[in-house]
């Protein structure tokens, strides 16, 4: 079988081979339960402590402010539900953007069935929320604002500094889902007013099964899981040492290489953009102010799933937000929120790259792509 | 989405795609908002018994893997058949011939069959031939569905026009 060209880093990343030896030793040798008081358990406890310190250092926060979870989905669920239930005395109104990840969108739906009310902060045609709109949505009973840092479909970087300021002014908690931005662009928890932040290990070359929720000291939050009181009583369940240590090891690499990754991603983006400009009737959906490793692009008059499948036949993996590819045959809620014409939205694919993407991979992709677009257009009745 | 080998073969190398110039009948179905648009072109001639047969058939499809594969398959199935034989087919025949489709994609085969029905209707109507009652009913049903969708999205389409024009400027 030919080697896959993986251009779906926004979905997940491979584990950096440099962290493999460390995490492998945790599987069979240092496998202890960090809650056990014998030496085997204490070793695991120490590993966990080191991991927490590493990540707290990276985020410039206190160790006690990091709650390890199983995934970004869990962290986002905890942020919304945990804040909602811990602050019932203050109100029951939450504001989220209308381009959040499904794990926020569906948590919103569930919270509404539980008597909470949720308002949407809507994005413009470029996919950005406007902080000015936020002030109009804030009510006396608003307890939480949740706006993602970087959108997973378009890469658009949201103005979280301004949103943080507004939330501080109105004394409302601010949560940001930083799953796509953590480790890629700087997040300064000392400068930006963020009360809660979600990040995930498997988007930054760490293993799947580890996420985190940063909870600023003093924030009132309820746990989702009750049990052995791990993670300062906020997230019970045996510590997944293997994944968490892997997470911190990947952060350790980022401390040195974040800038290198960023510059590399930027160069690739430039190269892809240049080439796309030569394919007629192509719309770049990602705005200028985007993370450099994601590009959402649409080829008019053809359909995204078909592009994806033909690329896949060539061993190239990308993603699409087209209606035909979704479970319920509805168009991506992000592109709909941007009010992108269906004719354009249907032909969209998301290409995302990262640390292990080679120039050869990109050349191969850019060689194959125009041919595929041309082929599918030759089948299409829309001209 | 897990497609079988046969579906992928038809998708990668579809049979009979393109336009027929001076087609005797054209069936246009689907709506871009819903995802798929299919145009089916037919050329009619007579067999030795003097019956109308589909001598040539071609498709143009905007859509996903399943939409393209089912379009390709219906052209294979209908080619050489008499009109009566063609009308006796069903969407499920296409699925069967393709060795199955993911359940969520079965509607693509229905659309392909509808395109054939519409192409035949178009041919019979243009040539002032007798249209079987069943075909009339089916045609009216399809037209009504089309109208409902167009009305449903009319306001939306209008409101989008400005945005599309604006977005158009961003085209590369």
Whichever domain contains A132, its CATH number is 3.40.640.10
Q: Is A200 helix (H, G, I), strand (E, B) or coil?
A: strand
A210 and A271 share a domain? no
A76 and A182 share a domain? yes
Q: What is the pLDDT of residue B154?
A: 67
pLDDT tens-digit readout, B23-61: 999 999 987 776 789 999 999 999 999 999 999 999 999
Question: What b-and-e string marks burial along A327-338, b requiring 16 or more CB atoms within 10 Å of the CB?
Answer: eebebbbbbbbb
Radius of gyration of chain A, Cα coordinates, nearest whole angstrom: 21
A279 and A237 share a domain? no
Strand order in the sheet with A348-352: A282-284, A294-299, A348-352, A319-320
* CB-CB under 8 Å, B8 with A341: no
Q: What is the pLDDT of residue A339?
A: 93
Q: What is the pLDDT of residue A7?
A: 97
* CB-CB under 8 Å, A339 with B172: no
A331 and A215 share a domain? no
| B16 or B107, which is more confident | B16
Above 50 in pLDDT, residue B171? no
Give, in order, the Cα–Cα distances in Å from B135 to each of A14, B40, B42. 55, 17, 17
DSSP structure string for B11-28 = HHS-SSBS--TT-SEEEE
Place of tokens 């081979």: A17
Q: What is the pLDDT of residue A330?
A: 75
Q: What is the pLDDT of residue B155?
A: 59
Q: For residues B47 and A373, give the distance between their C-alpha atoms in angstroms, rounded to a whole number.
A: 39
Domain count for chain A? 2
A152 CA: distance to closest CA in chain B (Å)? 21
Instruction: Select from B12, B61, B170 the Cβ nearest to the Cβ of A313.
Output: B12
| Chain B residues in contact with A382 (beta carbon < 8 A) | 32, 37, 62
A194 and A119 share a domain? yes
- pLDDT confidence tier of residue B159, bands split at 50, 70 and 90: low
Handedness of CA A311, A313, A315, A319 (dihedral sign): positive
3-state helix, strand, coil in chain B (%, to 5): 55, 15, 30
Which candidate, A234, A214, A237, A213, places its Cα nearest to that of A222? A234
**Of the candidates A253, A287, A320, which is a domain's last residue?**
A253
Q: For residues B149 and B15, give the distance between their C-alpha atoms in angstroms, rounded to a whole number.
A: 30
Q: What is the pLDDT of residue B168?
A: 39
Closest CA in chain A for residue B17: A379
Strand order in the sheet with A196-200: A66-69, A211-215, A196-200, A173-177, A142-146, A93-97, A117-121
Q: Is B150 on the interface with A (CB under 8 A)?
A: no
A58 and A184 share a domain? yes
A83 and A177 share a domain? yes
Q: For residues A181 and A150, give the distance between their C-alpha atoms in angstroms, rounded to a whole number.
A: 6
SS in 3 state form for A97-148?
ECCCCHHHHHHHHHHHHCCCEEEEECECCCCCECHHHHHHHCCCCEEEEECC
The arithmetic mean of pLDDT across residues B74-79, rounded, is: 96
Q: What is the pLDDT of residue B107?
A: 87
- pLDDT confidence tier of residue B165, bands split at 50, 70 and 90: very low
Q: For residues A159 and B159, give the distance between their C-alpha atoms in angstroms, rounded to a whole number.
A: 27
**Of the candidates A226, A253, A280, which is a domain's last residue?**
A253
Cβ proximity of B64 and A303 under 8 Å: yes
B16 CA: distance to closest CA in chain A (Å)? 10
* Torsion of the alpha carbons at A258, A260, A262 and A267, rounded to the nearest 10: -170
Give the count of beta carbons closer than 10 Å to the beta carbon of residue A242: 21
Place of tokens 């009948």: B25
* CB-CB under 8 Å, B37 with A381: yes
A211 and A282 share a domain? no
* Torsion of the alpha carbons at A347, A348, A354 and A356, rounded to the nearest 10: -20
A376 CA: distance to closest CA in chain B (Å)? 8
A95 beta partners: A119, A145
* CB-CB under 8 Å, B68 with A379: yes
Around B35, how many Cα atoms within 13 Å sit in the side-chain half-sphere? 24
Which candidate, A267, A213, A203, places its Cα nearest to that of A235? A213
A130 and A227 share a domain? yes
Per-residue tokens: B160:
């989008």
- H-run or E-run covering B109: helix B106-126
Above 60 in pLDDT, residue B161? no
Q: What is the pLDDT of residue B13?
A: 96
Cβ contacts of residue A371 below 8 Å, gap of 6+?
none
**How far, in whole angstroms, is CA A283 from its chain's centroid?**
24
Which candidate, A88, A45, A84, places its Cα nearest to that of A68? A45
Q: Is B32 on the interface with A (CB under 8 A)?
A: yes
Instruction: Select from A277, A305, A340 the Cβ nearest to the Cβ of B167.
Output: A340
* CB-CB under 8 Å, A309 with B61: no
CATH numbers and ranges of domains, chain B: 5-152 (3.90.1010.10)
Q: Is B169 on the interface with A (CB under 8 A)?
A: no
**Of the candidates A253, A270, A304, which is a domain's last residue?**
A253
A189 and A304 share a domain? no
pLDDT tens-digit readout, B85-120: 999 998 899 999 999 999 889 888 889 999 999 999
Per-residue tokens: A323:
């209606």
Going by their DSSP bridges, the two strands B52-62 and A173-177 should be labelled as unpaired
The arithmetic mean of pLDDT across residues B149-172, rounded, is: 53
A303 and A225 share a domain? no
Residue A324 is among the residues annotated as catalytic for this protein = yes
Residues counted in chain A: 383
Q: Is A85 helix (H, G, I), strand (E, B) or coil?
A: helix
Q: For residues B88 and B120, give the distance between their C-alpha atoms in angstroms, rounded to a whole number.
A: 12
A223 and A288 share a domain? no
- H-run or E-run covering A223: none
Per-10-residue mean pLDDT for chain A, 383 residues long?
A: 85 97 91 95 96 97 98 98 98 98 97 98 98 97 98 98 98 98 94 97 98 98 97 97 97 97 98 95 96 96 94 95 71 92 88 97 97 96 87
Q: For residues A105 and A242, give the distance between their C-alpha atoms in angstroms, rounded to a whole number.
A: 30
Per-residue tokens: A133:
């709109």
CATH of the domain at A333: 3.90.1150.10
* CB-CB under 8 Å, B34 with A339: no
pLDDT tens-digit readout, A2-11: 579 999 999 9
Q: For residues A75 and A367, give the distance between their C-alpha atoms in angstroms, rounded to a whole number.
A: 40
Q: For residues B107 and B31, give the distance between their C-alpha atoms in angstroms, rounded to a whole number.
A: 13
Q: Is A146 exposed, middle or buried (0-12, 13-18, 19+ CB in 10 A)?
A: buried
Range of the domain at A100: 17-253
* Mutation for A interface: B9, B167, B168, B169, most A CBs within 10 A: B167
């Amino acid at each position: 079988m030919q080697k896959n060209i993986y251009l779906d880093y926004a979905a997940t990343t491979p584990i950096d081979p440099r962290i493999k030896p460390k995490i492998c030793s945790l599987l069979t040798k240092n496998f202890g339960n960090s809650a056990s008081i014998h030496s085997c358990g204490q070793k695991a406890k120490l590993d966990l402590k080191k991991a927490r310190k590493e990540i707290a250092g990276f985020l410039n926060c206190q160790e006690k402010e990091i709650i390890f979870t199983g995934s970004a989905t869990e962290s986002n669920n905890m942020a919304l539900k945990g804040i909602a239930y811990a602050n019932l005395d203050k109100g029951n109104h939450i504001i989220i953007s209308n381009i959040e990840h499904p794990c926020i969108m569906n948590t919103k739906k569930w919270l509404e069935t539980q008597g909470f009310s949720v308002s949407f902060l809507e994005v413009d045609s470029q996919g950005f929320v406007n902080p000015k709109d936020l002030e109009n949505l804030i009510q006396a009973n608003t307890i939480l604002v949740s706006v993602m840092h970087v959108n997973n479909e378009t890469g658009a970087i949201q103005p979280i500094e301004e949103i943080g300021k507004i939330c501080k002014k109105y004394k409302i908690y601010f949560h940001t889902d930083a799953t796509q931005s953590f480790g890629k662009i700087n997040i300064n928890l000392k400068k930006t007013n963020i009360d809660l932040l979600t990040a995930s290990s498997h988007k930054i070359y760490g293993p799947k099964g580890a996420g985190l929720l940063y909870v600023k000291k003093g924030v009132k939050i309820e746990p989702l899981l009750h049990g052995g009181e791990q993670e300062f009583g906020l997230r019970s369940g045996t510590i997944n040492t293997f994944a968490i240590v892997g997470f911190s090891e990947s952060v350790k690499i980022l401390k040195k290489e974040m800038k290198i990754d960023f510059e590399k991603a930027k160069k690739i983006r430039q190269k892809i953009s240049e080439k796309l400009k030569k394919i007629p009737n192509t719309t770049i959906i990602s705005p200028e102010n985007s993370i450099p490793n994601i590009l959402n692009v649409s080829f008019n008059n053809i359909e995204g799933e078909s592009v994806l499948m033909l690329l896949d036949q060539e061993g190239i993996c990308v993603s699409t937000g087209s209606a035909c590819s979704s479970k319920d045959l509805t168009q991506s809620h992000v592109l709909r929120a941007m009010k992108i014409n269906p004719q354009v939205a249907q032909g969209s694919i998301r290409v995302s790259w990262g640390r292990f993407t080679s120039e050869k991979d990109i050349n191969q992709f850019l060689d194959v792509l125009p041919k595929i677009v041309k082929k599918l257009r030759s089948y299409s009745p829309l001209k | 989405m897990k497609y079988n080998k046969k579906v992928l073969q038809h998708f990668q190398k579809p049979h009979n795609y393109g336009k027929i110039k001076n087609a005797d009948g054209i069936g246009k179905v689907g709506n871009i908002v819903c995802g798929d648009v299919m145009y089916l072109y037919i050329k009619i001639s007579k067999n030795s018994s003097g019956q109308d047969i589909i001598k040539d058939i071609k498709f143009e499809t905007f859509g996903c893997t399943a939409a393209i594969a089912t379009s390709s398959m219906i052209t294979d199935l209908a080619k050489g058949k008499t009109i009566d034989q063609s009308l006796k087919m069903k969407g499920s025949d296409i699925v069967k011939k393709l060795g199955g489709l993911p359940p969520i994609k079965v509607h693509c085969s229905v659309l392909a069959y509808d395109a054939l029905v519409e192409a035949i209707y178009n041919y019979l109507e243009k040539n002032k031939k007798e249209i079987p009652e069943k075909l009339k009913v089916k045609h009216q049903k399809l037209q009504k569905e089309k109208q409902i969708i167009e009305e449903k999205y009319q306001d939306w389409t209008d409101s989008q026009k400005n945005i599309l024009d604006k977005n158009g400027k961003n085209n590369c």
